[in-house]
Amino acid sequence: MDRALELNLRHDWADLGDVRLHYVSGGQGPAIVFLHGWPQTWYMWRDVLPGLMQRYRVVAVDLRGLGESSRPAAGYDTKTVAQDVWRLMHDVLGERTFHVVGHDWGGPVAYALAAQHRVAVTSMAIFDAPVPGDGSVLTALGRWHFGFHAEADLPEALVAGREELYLRYMYRKGGARPDAISEEAQREYLRTYAQPGGMRAGFNYYREWAQDAKDNLAFIKQGKLAMPILVYGGGAPNVGRGLYAMDSWQRVACDVRGGVAEGCGHWIPEERPAWVVERLLEFFGEVDRRRNAARPLTTSSIPTKRDHMTMFYETIDTALIDVESLPWMPFVPYADNVFLKLIKVDPIRGEWTALLKAPPNIALPMHHHSGTVMVWTIAGRWKYIEHDWVASPGSYVFETAGSRHTPISVGDDEVITLNIVQGDWDLMSPEGAVLAIENWKSMVERYLNFCRANGVKPVDVSSFSV
């Protein structure tokens, strides 16, 4: 589990009385709770959470009976499991409103949660999961294991001692590719499901399917869900649910959008994590902007120039910038020996200008950017692993929008570059998962946080007058 620690996720447990829930959390901003499916745990979101943590507070929970949560004998209907999540988010973590993301069984749990707390759930994103009791005869979509898992005691008896054989079959057959779920993830899932009671708890979810459908019919009679919902089904034939997933949710909710996740089977968040991050940021960003725009404007919400947190760019004058007076900030959490000096941000263009200083013989994470990036080398030599050229003092590198690179310093000298970045700058893992997103807003936040922590008086880096 070292990878989770590297991503600054914190492990906690919430004692709710009848169940003890394990969850991980990190980031800051509006809250999002992530609900996993079977046979997975919170760990299925490992390559999705980092890309959201700079804009949102993320919470990924092990559902009742699964992962590192406790395994009570009863309470596996989605109405009860949803209340577990509600008590965690509202009572323990103090979130009055939050977004929800669900996959597989996390989808029905998300529906039961939203149906019981229609004001608190701001919006939802669902991957390859229908709603039991939606009125369609195709809800289970011919999946043979639904009936098998629902049999009393039989599946436990047949898979006892063969958990790895059975679950690896599921992981292999459920994706658009046999290796859709990594070996690392499979081992983590097997570790928890092979624990005493792990398989029985998973099967218990299927045994409550009829009760879920009955409870959901009662929820539906109260009216369709009103919050925006994003739904994607896997596009691989006979594996993903395709457009049927969205059709199911359109039966129970008013505002449903989405479609088909191409190149995916059932395991969408693990098959295309970077794509999932992009969809979630777009969707939740739109929802949050609409909610903020709908809030009434009061005099207390109007910024003034006395507030150093406020940025001003009303006057467009030529300005001489004293770069020496601006601080070098460590580029944490990516590297503590790489430093940034934020010079200027342009909120209108979505652009930021900064110096970057790196020691010899260091590699930075691979990055992808949505806009153009221009890099002028002041000192030292550096290159991208993907290219055979080497930039030296006086070199000018023009990076086209949509490209990705892995920068490394070359030689024995310190590297200093001047960087003009347009749009988002996405830091990525070697596997292509979005670890974090930097842009002019995050850079200003980084600058202000550094100034507060170090007693530095900040200047308005968004103003073009002195």
Active site residues per annotation: 104, 206, 266
Please tell me the distance from the alpha carbon of residue 41 to that of residue 29, in angstroms, as a whole number: 24
DSSP 162-221: -HHHHHHHHHHHSSSSTTSS-HHHHHHHHHHHTSTTHHHHHHHHHHTHHHHHHHHHHHHH
What values do phi and psi take at 293, rounded to 5? -65, -30
- The two three-digit tokens of residue 262, written as one number: 């191409």
Residue carrying structure tokens 């395709």: 242
DSSP letter at 358 equals E
Give residue 400's identity as a one-letter amino acid code. T
Cβ atoms of 293 and 442 closer than 8 Å = no
The runs of H, that is alpha helices, within 208-320 are 209-221, 244-250, 268-271, 273-294
- The two three-digit tokens of residue 364, written as one number: 């930075």
Cβ atoms of 63 and 88 closer than 8 Å = no
Please tell me the distance from the alpha carbon of residue 364 to that of residue 383, in angstroms, as a whole number: 11
Count other C-beta atoms under 10 Å from residue 197's C-beta: 15
Listed in sequence order, the residues at least 6 apart from 413 whose beta carbon sits closer than 8 Å to its beta carbon are: 360, 379, 380, 381
DSSP 88-135: IIIIIS--SSEEEEEETTHHHHHHHHHHH-TTTEEEEEEES---TTSS
DSSP letter at 363 equals B
Please tell me the distance from the alpha carbon of residue 50 to that of residue 61, in angstroms, as a whole number: 15
CA geometry: angle 54, 436, 410, nearest 5 deg: 135
